Amino acid sequence: MRIAVVALGKIGLPLAVQFARQGHDVVGVDVSQQTVDLVNEGTEPFPGEAHLQEYLSELVPAGKLRATTDYGDAIPGADAVVLVVPLFVDEESRPDFGWMDAATRSLAKHLTPGTIVSYETTLPVGTTRGRWKPMLEEISGLKEGEDFHLIFSPERVLTGRVFQDLRRYPKLVGGLNEAGTQAGIALYQQLLEFDERPDLPRPNGVWDMGSAEAAEMAKLAETTYRDVNIGLANQFAVYADKVGIDVYRVIDACNSQPYSHIHRPGIAVGGHCIPVYPRLYLSTDPDATVVSTARWYNADMPEYAVSRVEEILGDLKGMKIAVLGASYRGGVKETAFSGVFATVDALVKRGAVVAVEDPMYADEELEAFGWSPYHIGDQVDVVIVQADHRDYTTLTPADFPGITLLFDGRGITDASLWTGVPRLTIGGGR
């Protein structure tokens, strides 16, 4: 088949590579000329995705994968078009469809009969039917269900391990009618391969969700569950701090039986998914108070962490405080909704002198965010661990001359190495 993939980001490019590895001819579309040039050179535009460079080096010279900025080059005659364009939320947590609208309009101008259009970007329930169908039909002059099929099939992968996750997790497909759903199922059965999963209630593979709305909700529900679960863990941890209990022992005890799956507390919930998708869910279900409360609680954890430091040390004005970790999670060079922003803001508000360290970022990159870089070994009063980078597991007081307090917001440091220097965690454990 001839497949077009719209948006060659950290999900879209690995998807394009996956489809090409299955023997299909793939054209990627991206607004960035730099990204297009790098792909056409067989060079990964971003580091950290397992096997991506290896596969690009095979597929691009073989002519199975190429990239362009021109929709008119990629879309006409395609058997399928897969969109993975980012969807953002604005300052009031409302979906911002700007980039997706632009991509959809450009796609629609060049859409030809016989194409399956699949949206993989996580969407509020009803968006595929209520927003994309009328937009595609009006601009293309074609009729969905007769001239082309429109489906929703959410990506369910994590950056850094996309190819592994594509094999491990069922592919969820929902159309606007039965014919569209079946066409989508047949499409993805040719694009993906799956590992055996005896733990699943039915065989791993492409799963029929019955409708686009069900597929949309499934992606929102699985991610919102994680946010709500973490919110509950954080609330337990805050209470444990008040009464002097090790919440990690409590959680481990609870999870020793099969009906409890409590997540771990932490200083922040970041990334493109967990902090965002509950807001997309709330955009169509504003009465979901459990979801909104958990989202508020998680967003407030950086402030809680800084307030704990303030309780112990008093006025933070003028103190030299290092925040370790700009990334939203360990081992990933990405700051999307990272807790570093709120943590730094809370410290600056109290008059602290703040610097940020991250082994994945150069000084110039940290400075571009407006932060002063911190280097391990420099004089400092307080250290706050914001990201669980592996480098931080072996840190000791000797790495921080003058340190009076370590606040480990991720429980990543080794408590046995911190004898003689106060070390705090969220929830009193680790």
Residue 96 backbone zone (phi > 0: left; psi -120 to 50: alpha; other: beta) = beta
pLDDT band at 91 (very low <50, low <70, confident <90, very high): confident
Q: Is-contact 227 269, C-beta < 8 A?
A: yes
Q: For the residues 184-188, what does the mean pLDDT come to?
A: 98
**pTM recorded for the entire structure:** 0.91
- Domains in the chain with CATH codes: 2-210 (3.40.50.720), 220-299 (1.10.1040.10), 302-425 (3.40.50.720)
Q: Report the percentage of the chain scoring pLDDT > 90.
A: 95
Q: pLDDT tens digits for 215-224?
A: 999 999 999 9
SS3 label, residue 331: coil
Task: Give the span between the Cα atoms of 386 and 337, in whole angstroms.
Answer: 12
What does the alpha-carbon distance between residue 209 and residue 420 come to, in Å, rounded to a whole number? 56
3-state helix/strand/coil string of the chain: CEEEEECCCCCHHHHHHHHHHCCCEEEEECCCHHHHHHHHCCCCCCCCCCCHHHHHHHHCCCCCEEEECCHHHHCCCCCEEEECCCCEECCCCCEECHHHHHHHHHHHHHCCCCCEEEECCCCCCCHHHHHHHHHHHHHHCCCECCCEEEEECCCCCCCCCHHHHHHHCCEEEEECCHHHHHHHHHHHHHHCCCCCCCCCCCCCCEEECCCHHHHHHHHHHHHHHHHHHHHHHHHHHHHHHHHCCCHHHHHHHHCCCCCCCCCCCCCCCCCCCCCCHHHHHHCCCCCCHHHHHHHHHHHCHHHHHHHHHHHHHCCCCCCEEEEECCCCCCCCCCCCCCHHHHHHHHHHHCCCEEEEECCCCCHHHHHHCCCEECCCCCCCCEEEECCCCHHHHHCCHHHCCCCCEEEECCCCCCHHHCCCCCEEECCCCC
How confident is the model over 46-72, as a mean pLDDT? 96
Confidence of residue 80 (pLDDT cuts 50, 70, 90): very high
pLDDT category of residue 430 using cuts at 50, 70 and 90 = low
- The band of 93, judged by pLDDT with boundaries at 50, 70 and 90, is confident
- Contact yes or no for 251/430 (Cβ under 8 A): no
